[in-house]
Amino acid sequence: MSDRPWWQTGVIYQIYPRSFADSDGDGTGDLRGVISRLDYLNDGTPRSLGVDAIWLSPFFPSPGFDFGYDISDYCAVDPLFGTLADFDLLVTEAHRRGIRIILDLVLNHTSHLHPWFVQSRSSMANPKRDWYLWQDPKGKSGAPNNWQSVFGGRAWQWDPSTRQYYYHKFLTQQPDLNWRNGRVRRAMMNVFRFWLDRGADGFRLDVVDGYFKDALLRDNPPAPGIRGYERQKHIFDADQPELIDAYREIRALLDTYGARMAVGEVMGNAKQAARFCGPGLLPLAFNFEFTRQSWSPAAFQNAVLRYERLLPEGGLPCYVLSNHDNSRHASRYGGQAPEARAKVAAAMLLTLRGTPFLYQGEEIGMRDGRIRRLEIQDPLGKKYWPPNAGRDPCRTPIPWTAGPGAGFTSGNPWLPLNPDYREINVQTEREDPDSVLEFYRKLIWLRKKSPALQSGGYRPLLSHPDRALVYLREAGKQTMLVGLNFFEQPIQLTLEESLSPGRWKKILSSCNSQSDLHGGAGKTVLNLQPNEAAIWTTDYTEKSGLHGK
Ligand code: TEU
């Protein structure tokens, strides 16, 4: 249907392998578990979810202090998740189904047990010393500057053996690499090549705006915030000018392999994310604004309008509602009818302009799990409990069935199953035509058939921004009208903008309502049921296939 690259038209699904599917009964998910669930993700028929690519959180060798985001070997598979042969099989089986594979490259830092760091810390004369950021003590505190770790405390660790500090943006077990060292940069490019040569279709780049730090290591200025890291403006420990050249080098390398992509995890704000993506730079960059919004149509409308203005020509939005670092949006937005809100959120994510990323479990309306103190695994939770249980609640195992181990494992799951897994699980929802899962499935398959939803223009209808999100998606002769009611009451809107003449057939509704519209000169009255997500089109001919079944 489209001559655009797959990452501009497809739907991408994040898999956190540890919690997705366990094939060997050790209580932890693995690559063979992912293979066993590929038909669920996309078997080429509308019975499957229909996603176009999967992003796998790290499965590389790691001591696991940060659950795989502390890597000790970039070019292997941790035995916990399987073998390189399992990865090769996953690529083969996924590609056979038209599913592309995106790997999670953590290139800002390694594990402290990576051989590079072990050598670097062994002596000041070691050839790898300058692969990391070492500094002499300074001033009273000793730390070279005021930089803070994202995980709390100073970002400098004293190493008594060589009597210097090393920099770590995250845990002390995650020393930052020195990207200004050409050997480091070449080693990073070789990591890309290793996985591209094995068939990877793209990469999610962890902390992509953190690779370079100020050469003079200047103190960050203060900022109003609640704790350490948030109390600074991150103008010297991230977001350095050299990033652009590095992104150009990465993009050029990807382009030599054809149709390969990268999506940057930008810790900064939407303005920085917009700056990093576009022609010649990162193909995509996450905009995390949706994870920070209240449940309000105006809040989402403003975030979208702002971002559409910020993006460079050719830049594509990349919104997410949930991921492995944030509370699940079905819990965040809750409300009296969480399933209904989950469907409205899904319709927004899957019909706005851009490439949508889904997080495993959101398609069944999965909530955050309940973690007792003794069950906490995440270092953030261990450090800040109570009240912060860390990220474990959004990382609990996927419930596939209501049966033993929720179909996730035959062993003892590494995190507790959600208490509601007997009601909220894939099998139960596949048998319920009104489930969240069925609505995601219909949306994704509708999106596949609609050039307007996949890659059309975006035109907001702003008559009632505080009451509903209403917008058009247009491509050629096809126009889709999306209406999202965020409230528990029915609403009636009179659209100031006139709709093209003719009958606008409602082809999808999250509550199966049938109210069609009639366009033409003058104003159109649009009705939405409580918490209803609805899509209309005038292009509902058999040819278009837009019948929403
Ligand atoms: O996260 C970077 C980031 O933004 C997180 O520090 C986030 O703020 C934190 O998880 C609190 O919610 C990436 C990975 O997604 C995260 O899982 C890793 O812990 C982190 O980098 C270090 O690699």
Residues 318 and 214 in one domain: yes
Output the CA–CA distances (angstroms, integers) from residue 114 to 100, 108, 203, 314, 507, in the order listed.
Answer: 29, 13, 21, 38, 54
Is the domain of 67 the same as that of 215?
Answer: yes
Domain extent at residue 468: 455-537
Query: Which of the following is catalytic: 86, 176, 265, 532?
Result: 265
Q: Are residues 396 and 306 in the same domain?
A: yes
C-alpha 325 – ligand 1 centre gap (Å): 6
E strands in 160-235: 164-167, 202-205
pLDDT at res. 55? 98
Query: Strand pairing of 533-537 and 478-485?
Result: antiparallel
Per-residue pLDDT, averaged over 351-370, amounts to 98
pLDDT tens for each residue of 304-326? 999 999 999 989 999 999 999 99
Measured from CB, residues less than 6 Å from any atom of ligand 1 are 66, 69, 106, 150, 170, 206-207, 265, 267, 324-325, 391
Residue 460 belongs to domain with CATH number = 2.60.40.1180
The span from the CA of 42 to the CA of 44, in Å, is 5
Q: Are residues 215 and 155 in the same domain?
A: no
**Which ligand 1 atom is nearest residue 267's CA?**
4
Q: Which atom of ligand 1 is nearest to the CA of 170?
A: 22
pLDDT value at residue 466: 92
In our burial notation (b when 16+ CB lie closer than 10 A, e otherwise), range 469-485 reads bbbbbbbeebbbbbbbb
Ligand 1 centre to CA of 45 (Å) is 35
Residue with CA closest to ligand 1 atom 7? 325
- How many angstroms from the chain centroid is the CA of residue 467? 28
Shared-domain flag, residues 236 and 255? yes
Eight-state DSSP code of residue 280: T
What number is the average pLDDT over the span 138-163?
A: 94
pLDDT for the residue 1: 55
Catalytic residue status for 392: no
* Tens-digit pLDDT profile for residues 153-204: 999 999 999 999 999 999 999 999 999 999 999 999 999 999 999 999 999 9
Whether 85 and 186 map to the same domain: the answer is yes
CA dist list (Å): 43 to 118, 359, 430: 45, 19, 15
- Is 237 annotated in the active site? no
Same domain, 18 and 122: no
Question: Of 206, 209, 237, 378, which is the active-site residue?
Answer: 206
CA distance 231 to 321: 25
- Does the pLDDT of residue 543 top 90, yes or no? no
Does residue 7 have a pLDDT over 70? yes
411 C-alpha to ligand 1 centroid (Å) = 28
| 487-507: average pLDDT | 92
Angle CA 143–148–151, to nearest 5: 125
Domain count across the chain: 3
- Give the pLDDT band of residue 547 (cuts 50, 70, 90): low
Q: What is the mean pLDDT of residues 264-288?
A: 93
State whether 36 and 60 are in the same domain: yes
Measuring from atom 2 of ligand 1, which residue has the nearest CA? 207
Average pLDDT over residues 484-498: 93
pLDDT in tens, 421-435: 999 999 999 999 999
Mean pLDDT of the chain: 95
pLDDT for the residue numbered 256: 97
- Domain assignment present for residue 1? The answer is no
pLDDT of residue 146: 96
**What atom of ligand 1 comes closest to residue 106's alpha carbon?**
23
